[in-house]
Amino acid sequence: MSTKKKLIIILSIVAVVITSVIIGRAVIANIVKDKIKEARDRPVGVIAAKVNFSNFFDKLETFGTAIANQTFSIRIKKEELISSINFDEYPSVKKGDVIAKLNDQIIVAPFNGKVGKREITPGILGGDDSIIATLDDIETLKIDIKIPENFLGVLKKGLKIEASSSAFEETFTGQLETISSRVDPTTRSILVQAKINNESEKLIPGMLLNISLIFNETNSLSIPEEALVIQGNDKFVYLIENNKIKKNSVTIGKRNFGKIEILSGLNEGNTILAEGTNKVRPGSNIKITKYQ
């Protein structure tokens, strides 16, 4: 076989190989393109949420001292005492119960409360005019709270109060009752007094309590925090309409308990993407698998 014929055969084989490679790459590219299109067109499963109203507020955290709602002090002279109530473990008494019997009178409870010893050693009355006990009404407690003067503009009667103590895993609620007419020039604070519900009588006078003062309460449209997307100065959510994703700009306000206040951009009842904002793009087909 001549050299010329060999060269022609080799060139032909190379041409066939090159052609095959080109055709193969084109076929593979089309297959990949079809797969990508199929994947893109396939609905993405998402978790959605409905836009609804929630409570939002600002909160000032401080401390306060518990005071009995009513207190009655019992002073008795030693020689006049015949008998008295058993003071063990702060016993509860009802209005009208006998607290102590004297030579010429009987002392009864003027209101429901708890009796406790004060300034007395067991078995010793002390002086002629000693305090042997107090009666405290603690079903409702007063709380003295000092508030920084810069919060004077938000203070008003009726503001919600939440009180707690490290002694109990419980929150006690109440409201602001009185506001002092003066600012303390030394501490630059104003004294306010609140009342909280203590029907369980767990809290007692003198306790230092953690206090949350709730103010600027609003009932506004809200979304889950995870639904908000922030890009630079832009804030938006993905609105779901007809199983399609649409970018929707919003104006936000307060954040409370995993919720974000929506001031504009959405309406009550709108359906939005609640989780997985990184999995979709505007125009994406989606399928709602769960509502938050």
- Could you tell me the fold of the domain covering 59-63+140-217? Elongation Factor Tu (Ef-tu); domain 3 (2.40.30)
Summarised one tens digit per residue, pLDDT across range 222-234 is 999 999 999 888 9
Domain coordinates in residue numbering, the chain = 1-42, 44-56+219-291, 59-63+140-217, 72-135
CB contact burial 170-190 (16+ within 10 A = b; e otherwise) = eebebebeeeeeeeeeeeebb
The better pLDDT of the pair 14, 139 is held by 139
* Mean pLDDT calculated for residue range 191-215: 94
CATH of region 44-56+219-291, choose from 2.40.420.20, 1.20.140.10, 3.30.565.10, 3.40.50.1820? 2.40.420.20
In contact, 273 and 226? CB cutoff 8 Å: no
Summarised one tens digit per residue, pLDDT across range 115-147 is 876 655 445 545 555 656 788 999 999 999 999
Summarised one tens digit per residue, pLDDT across range 249-263 is 999 999 988 899 999
pLDDT of residue 125: 46
* Mean pLDDT calculated for residue range 80-99: 71
Q: Where does 72-135 sit in CATH, by number?
A: 2.40.50.100
pTM of structure: 0.68
Distance separating alpha carbons of residues 8 and 16, to the nearest angstrom: 12
The better pLDDT of the pair 196, 243 is held by 196
Q: Mean pLDDT score of the chain, rounded to an integer?
A: 83
Closest CA to 239 of 270, 279, 277: 270
